[in-house]
Structure 1
Amino acid sequence: MNDHPTAPVGHAHPPGATSDADAALALETEAGEVRRFWEGLGLPGLVDVHTHFMPERVLRKVWAYFDALGPLTGGLEWPITYRQQEAERAAVLREFGVRAFTSMLYPHKPGMARWLNDWAAEFARRTPDCLHTATLYPEPGVETYVREAVEAGARVFKAHVQVGAYDPADELLQPAWGLLAEARVPVVIHCGSGPAPGKHTGPEPIARVLARHPQLRLIIAHMGMPEYEDFLGLAERYTQVRLDTTMAFTDFCEGFMPFPRQALPRLGELGDRILFGSDFPNIPYPYLHQLQALERLGLGEEWLRAVCHDNATALFGL
């Protein structure tokens, strides 16, 4: 992703907002709607396991990639809804009532993971409501820096098979997976083939990882889109596998990778292992829409309470 020009950074202008004042009013209105959502469920707030905070120059290049309709976006128009500075983005999540969130970050080549982890540790120190996040890549020394991150207090890891273009079952990663399984540290992993397939995406490579590390706490990002049913099957087989809702069920994704209606009962039965995720700030629609998309599934308030708050609270001991 680093081969693309830097994207401009400014204030978020939600749909219909034409000025900073309009944008501020739109965010205030949306925050009220988000809060009404979780208050109506009797919750103290939300826990979002899939939000992106990373070094600003890296994030700007990610945004530039989306702006340029890079190949991994599937060629889709992808306007970034919350294109604010770091402190403003964190403030938006707090206004929404997000009690805890993550700093999902990921390397696309060797030599990046350790310094990303150093940045993430510092971000977590200055952002108490962020779950200390770390990442990894198949390279010599990966076990060492993963151990260092765990010992430094990392509470969740991010792995991105699509962007990193690596096999998650790579032998270089086996000691790190074993370490994370033993430490019981969850790993949010983008391994489905959406929005565009990669050489090592899909359920088969992850099945090989789980066969060797059945206690690894994998959180399948984006519900495993578009191989939803295959990844539901892995969760049914392995008790430590979870899935996050990131972008799934929204109008945007239903338009090109719809969730199969026949799988809704399975989704309901796995309600204790589905976690709310949004992909904030890199989403082409308002944050509220992800919550509305979950609600319209019709799986009930108990399911929504577990997904939007209670499951993550239990997993991370919040």
Structure 2
Amino acid sequence: MTDSAPVIPPVADERVPQFCRTLGLPGLADVHVHFLPPRLLRRVWAYFDAAGPLVGTEWPIRYRWSDADRVAHLRRLGVRAFSALAYAHRPGMAADLNRWTLDFARDTPGCLASATFYPEPEAPGYVAAALAEGARLFKVHLQVGGFAPTDPALDQVWGMLSDAGVPVVVHAGHAPVGTAHTGPDPFAALLARHPRLTAVVAHLGAPDYRAFLDLAETYERVRLDTTMAFTPFFDQFMPFPTDELPRLREVGLAGKVLLGSDFPNLPYPYADQITGLARLDLGDDWLRAVCWNSAAALFDLA
């Protein structure tokens, strides 16, 4: 499936910049990076440490560093554009999260202004405010949030985002632990109501890869991110079906597969994500699209 000589997988973090140079890319664009208010981040890391019910396995956080150190590491890796994804898991917290993430993006070159929402009466108001302030990406986590994407309280919000063409990263799949509101069916019901929604399905929709590929092919504005897929850690639980690699290649060349990592909440080196993609042998053009070009087109990156 290669369209040129294979690129050497980076293996270690310090080799990622050479991987980008070999492909002729200015760097990486990672749409699935988390930066959170310090108190909330400590709670998230404690949940991972305890292998909480929605984690389900041992998950040692590798990059348990300060914000400044994590931003510096992204720059050393060559990540030129990245998100600051936060997500609300209860009413009354999304607006404050948006204030923090939007301020963080303003003060952090290369960070895409990111925001979130939760099904509550105030959601249309603070989503409109975030859009007015320049939010370029939203995040919702149906598993952690514990709500249906078709909750009537969000209907206006989905409509606003559809009209604005602003992407939303949706953790819609069952991975790592399924709930009543995850899986392809609830997400398909949302798209039936809002077919023009620009959505990025986290983790390629794992473990229901085939169904989410179907949705990416059916809906013009639906994309997938690679977060954790094709890493040794993830493959032991929910490997991508090899017979679907040709279709993943076509979808990726069409601009519908974006690099995601879940940095810093990784139990392995960042380079594992890039190495996993390189070892698929889907061609240099595919790697260029996934690692930079598709996100550059979506977010109009210089």
The CA deviation string for residues 55-74 of structure 1, in whole angstroms up to 9 with x for no partner, is 01101110000000101112
Show the counterpart of 2:44.
62
Partner of 1:273: 256
Paired residue for 1:7? none
- Alignment correspondent of 1:41: 23
- Matching residue of 2:6: none
SS of the equivalent of 2:220 reads coil
Matches within 5 A, 1:13-24: none
Distance 1:189 1:31 in 2: 27
Q: 106, 109, 122: which one pairs with 1:128?
A: 109
Q: Secondary structure of 1:130's partner?
A: coil
- Does 1:223 pair with 2:212? no
Alignment correspondent of 2:8: none
Give the TM-score of the pair, scaled to structure 2: 0.94
Partner of 1:296: 279
Higher relative contact order (CA 8 A, sep 6+): 2
Displacement, 1:32?
2.8
The one-letter amino acid paired with 1:294 is: L
Give the one of 293, 298, 301 matched to 1:315: 298
Report the residue type matching 1:141 in the other structure: E
SS of residue in 2 equivalent to 1:71: coil
5+ residue gaps in structure 1? 1-28
Q: Which runs of 4+ in 1 moved over 6 A?
A: none
Hey, what does 1:78 align to over in structure 2? 59
Q: Which amino acid aligns with 2:149?
A: P
The reply to whether residue 139 of structure 1 matches residue 131 of structure 2 is no
What secondary structure is seen at the aligned counterpart in 2 of 1:270? helix
Q: Does residue 1:189 correspond to 2:189, yes or no?
A: no
Percent identity over the alignment is: 57
Residue 190 of structure 1, CA deviation: 0.3
**Structure 1 residue identity aligned to 2:143:** Q
Alignment root-mean-square deviation, CA: 0.9
In the other structure, the counterpart of 1:26 is none
Query: 3-state DSSP class of the match of 2:58?
Result: coil
Cα distance in 2 for partners of 1:243, 1:141 equals: 29
Q: Where does the alignment leave 5 or more consecutive residues of structure 2 unmatched? A: 1-10
TM-score by length of 1: 0.90
1:37 CA drift (Å): 1.0
Find the aligned partners of 2:123 and 2:144 in 1 and give their Cα distance.
18
Amino acid at match of 1:83: R
Count of aligned positions:
289
1:31 Cα offset (Å): 4.1
Cα distance in 1 for partners of 2:286, 2:98 equals 34
Rounded to whole Å, the distance in 2 between the matches of 1:205 and 1:256 is 23
Report if aligned partners of 2:13, 2:269 keep a CA contact under 8 Å in 1. Answer: no
- Find the partner of 1:261 among 242, 245, 248: 242
Residue 265 (structure 2) aligns with: 282
Distance 2:198 2:261 in 1: 20
Does 1:306 pair with 2:289? Answer: yes
Match of 1:14 in 2: none
